[in-house]
Amino acid sequence: MSKIRRFYLNHLKRKMFNKIILLYSAVMMVLFVTAAVLVYQYQLQRIIREETDANMKTAQVLSIYLNRQYENIQNTIQQIYGDATLSDDLVYFLNNPYENYLGYRLNQFTKTNEQRLRSYSTLVKNYMEQEPGAKRVSIYSYPRKFGMSFEREKEKQQLQYESDSDGSWNNWLMTRRAYTWDTVGNSPEADTTEKSSSIPMYSYRRELQDPWTLDRIGMLVVDFDSKQLASWLSSRVPATHGQMLVMTSQGKVLYDSTGEYVGQDYPYRYELNTAGKWIDLDEPSKINVLDTGNAGLTVIGVVSKSTIEASTGSLRNTLILITLLFFVASFVLTSTVMRKYSKKIRRIIVSMSRIGEGDLSTRIQMPGEDELQQISQRFNDMCERLEQYIDKMYTSEIKQKHAELVALQSQINPHFLYNTLESIRMKAYSEGARDVGKMVYSLSVMFKGMVKKDTVITIKEEIEMCSIYLDLLQIRYEGRIEVAIEVEPAVNGCSIIKLLVQPIVENYMVHGFRSLDEDNRVRISALREGERIIITVQDNGNGIPAERMQEIDKMLSGSYQLSSNLMEKSNPSIGLINVHDRIRMNYGEEYGLSVSSEPGKGTEVRMEIPMLKEGIL
């Protein structure tokens, strides 16, 4: 425990990069191992699927072979029963002594005068020529208790008589009737040489009946060579995947590619219903079960777990080796990179220590463009600014005092102007020029409102400034202008940006006012529509020409940047564009001005702003 603690104190506690390397290595190990496991599982499932599919293909090929053998036998028997000459020949052979059968054959030859008579023996030999897997065909007579065997290798037929007791013969008959398929060695004529033969064989039995009386008169036995089956299978499927078995309906194994269960009852026949899953045979295995149709046989394909593991052994070792190589390469690469950054951090720490000791001339030279280089650059900038601050601290204080004095002076100048305007107003009253005094008073009130620092005022205050401006104009033009102001009480206390309405009124006075006429009218209204405030300035002035109206609409529909480029001193609509852009900048694109005009009949400017409480923009 003390060694672990010592290792932690020396290499991890105060070394951030070592912690990062350790954490990174742990994470990468987990990732590499997880990736390797996932790849192995994927490949394992692929191999299992391929082995199982290949095993099923082998089973299908084997099933086709067995079906063909069964169909060839059935076709031969059908030829016997379908041809009266052949059936009579076979019936006579089974019901009479062999010497009498030879006489019967001679008589038939004499009667028909044919050089080649059709007989059951000729049919059997033709069958053996067509079926390479048939090693021997035997026909047994129930009444006469003898048999005739046709063997491929000896190329001859052999007549054998039963020498045992009737009980042995009857037992063999009962067994053969119960089992259509069986292994060779359970026939009455089998000798010790065949029983000890190393070549496995299996046989098919079929009872023969008299087509006229339907009595059972004999049995046909065909012995098949398992070696021929294996040879045919290897020619179709060069690589046999797993174990292949052929089992009768009673569970006896006729063929086993491993030779383990031949002639025995298959011990796991009741577990075959779980095909496709892992089942416990001699070891966990995957199985494929395929019935051969009318033949009454079952082909079983077994893919054991050991077979699959043998296929995945090299894959597992390769994945382990690759995982270790990746981990080592990742660890070495990470350590190299971290060591490089660790040196940079150490250089920054040393420089900061010098600054702490008072050496403000310290600078960090850091190559690259990463975060550490940016920290070094900021560190150098900080040192430079710190030096400049120390050098210019007194000069900055003097400038600050001077700025304070200038600010105080700027506060005195507007106050002086207000006092001067008030003196002029009083002088005008004393001289009897009351209109001049009223105009000076209105101008003073407007100036006070305009120089206030507040940029957001109430609608009531904005409308009052417009009213004062119009009062000045009414005095100037001696009643030639009629003013109407309508403000809904609900919007009086709502907020508005200062100087939005007054420039619109001023624009009318500059461009639309008819100074020679007596019926000039201007109407200002502020009403609520839902959550919006609609302010309308309507006049009966000169109006705006159609071409100029198109230009104004284009400017009002443009963005703020586009409108600001059009705001030149020579532009007669600078007031409208200024107001429109300020509204959109502060309230959003869905608010602003809209202008409608008809030459000679006047202009209406409609302003839409959101309804906001006082003090909220």
Q: d(Cα 52, Cα 242) in Å, to the nearest integer? A: 8
Q: Which of 255-269, 400-414, 500-514 has the lowest mean pLDDT?
A: 400-414
**What's residue 3's pLDDT?**
67
Q: Is 94 exposed, middle or buried (0-12, 13-18, 19+ CB in 10 A)?
A: buried
Q: d(Cα 364, Cα 392) in Å, to the nearest integer? A: 24
CA distances from 616 to 123, 293, 443, 458, 496 (A): 114, 91, 29, 10, 9
| pLDDT exceeds 80 at position 47 | yes
Average pLDDT over residues 379-390: 77
Q: d(Cα 501, Cα 537) in Å, to the nearest integer? A: 8
**What's residue 437's pLDDT?**
61
pTM of the predicted model, to two decimals?
A: 0.51
The candidate with the shortest Cα–Cα distance to 302, out of 277, 331, 320, 329, is: 277
| pLDDT exceeds 80 at position 408 | no
Q: d(Cα 13, Cα 561) in Å, to the nearest integer? A: 57
Q: d(Cα 117, Cα 455) in Å, to the nearest integer? A: 131
CA distances from 533 to 502, 530, 556, 563 (A): 17, 8, 19, 24
Q: For 353, list phi and psi in degrees, rounded to 5.
A: -65, -40
Q: Which of 150-154, 170-174, 309-313 has the lowest mean pLDDT?
A: 170-174
Question: Helix, strand or coil for residue 197?
Answer: coil
Average pLDDT over residues 578-582: 84
H-helix or E-strand spanning residue 15: none
Strand pairing partners for 608? Answer: 534, 592
Check residue 132 and report its DSSP letter.
Answer: T
What are the strands of the beta sheet with 602-610, ordered from one edge?
481-487, 520-529, 532-539, 602-610, 592-598
| pLDDT exceeds 60 at position 83 | yes
| pLDDT exceeds 90 at position 524 | yes
Question: Helix, strand or coil for residue 446?
Answer: helix
Q: How many CB atoms lie within 10 A of CB 273?
A: 9
Mean pLDDT of the chain: 78
Q: Are 180 and 296 in contact (CB under 8 A)?
A: yes
Which position has the higher pLDDT, 438 or 617?
438
Q: How confident is the model at residue 565 (pLDDT cuts 50, 70, 90)?
A: very low
**What's residue 142's pLDDT?**
86
Over residues 443-485, the pLDDT tens digits come to 666 666 565 556 788 998 889 888 888 887 887 777 788 999 9
Q: How confident is the model at residue 594 (pLDDT cuts 50, 70, 90)?
A: very high
